[in-house]
Amino acid sequence: MKNFTYINAKSIKDAVESLGKNWNESVVKSGGTDLLGELKGMIISPEKVINLKTIPNLDYIESTQDGGLKIGAVTTITKISESSLIKTKFPVISQAASKVASPQLRNMGTLGGNLCQRPRCWYYRENSILCLKKGGSQCYAFTGENKFHCIFGGGPCFIVHPSDMAASLISCDAEIKIYGRKGERELELNNFYLLPRENVNRENVLNPDEIVVEIIIPPPKNNTKSIYIKQSIRETWDFALCSVAVSMSMSGLKCDDVRIVLGGAAPKPWRSINAENELRGKMITETVAESAAKAAVNNAQTMRDNKYKINLFQNIIKSAILEVIKS
């Protein structure tokens, strides 16, 4: 890899002031499980790497006064998966965390890093290929090997977002706190992510001089049940072929409100409004669950090698809905 200056940030302000005005100048590192791969593969060659783990008080899981949660950006995935507080109040988040990569990577990887990780597309990760996302003229996946690529939101690039944590957190209506040179801002996590047609070079709204500092999760609605189901080629150390996070508030078997978010489906975590509309206000039966699963893939646009995702998504969405009402 190219030599770079390594900076141990002492505070959030210190980290932000060390960042440059463009993405080629500097990057931040937390666990480094994704960043080191990009550096070694010469996908990126920044002048500076700013270490966030030396900033005190960014590793925490705390209850809020209203019954929600706050999680610091450098909190490890292992800590999230093992938290009794999260298991009790937000099982979908705990389950998603337990399915991230391998135990060793969960011990190192952090929440902020997981939410901001770059695509796993093999064309993007191959440094000899100048794909559209790296400044080239085309997305090679569109006519090439695309069995792991998106069925929603594609064009002109057809990646899928790799984060398990993002789908689970969006299903809980989480917000993200960002700090930069212009100060602090908060937004819905669902609005943090971008489609390629909005910005083909980046996957989220972060500016080069901003960092993620916290995730805020509102208190769950009454009688909320949730689940995360992930299908991958290998049980560990692998990214989702298809995944689904379901959070449903219920009165008996009646769905009062619901969030359904898909992973491995689109260039960003994909909230399925169609599936939610099939459930909201209805008594949940196997027939209703199947209708919701079919509605979720109504507008899918498959490519040559990823048509299997239609049936796989239908199956895991239906299973997740039925598992929720059993829990």
- DSSP, collapsed to helix, strand or coil, labels residue 311 as helix
Which stretches in the chain have pLDDT values below 50? none
Q: Is residue 73 part of a domain?
A: yes
pLDDT at 88: 96
* Number of structural domains found in the chain: 2
Residues 295 and 273 in one domain: yes
Q: Same domain, yes or no, for 91 and 204?
A: yes
**What local confidence, expressed as pLDDT, does residue 237 receive?**
76
Same domain, 228 and 279: yes
Whether 272 is covered by a domain: the verdict is: yes
The pLDDT value recorded for residue 327 is 84
Sign of CA dihedral 151, 153, 155, 161: negative
% of residues, the chain, pLDDT over 90:
96
The answer to whether residue 3 sits within a structural domain is no
177 and 79 share one domain: yes
pLDDT for 190-232, tens place per residue?
999 999 999 999 999 999 999 999 999 999 999 999 999 999 9
Tens of pLDDT along 73-118? 999 999 999 999 999 999 999 999 999 999 999 999 999 999 999 9
Cβ atoms of residues 253 and 284 within 8 Å: yes
97 and 243 in a common domain: no
Domain assignment of residue 177, given as a range: 61-115+169-217
CATH number for the domain spanning 187: value is 3.30.465.10
**Per-residue pLDDT at 236:** 74
DSSP-derived secondary structure for 206-242: --TTEEEEEEEEPPPPTTEEEEEEEE-SSSSS---SE
- Rounded distance, CA 242 to CA 193, Å? 18
Please report the DSSP string for 121-168 in residue order: -HHHH-TT---GGGT-S--TTTTS--TTS-SSS-SS-------HHHHH
103 and 193 share one domain? yes
Residues 50 and 29: beta-carbon distance below 8 Å: yes
Say yes or no: 281 and 314 in one domain. yes
Assess whether 232 and 263 both reside in one domain.
Answer: yes
Domain boundary among 217, 243, 277: 217
Would 253 be classed as within a structural domain?
A: yes
Tokens 């209703």 found at: 288
pLDDT value, residue 66: 96
Structure tokens at 130: 């100048």
In a domain, 96, yes or no: yes
- pLDDT score of 59: 98
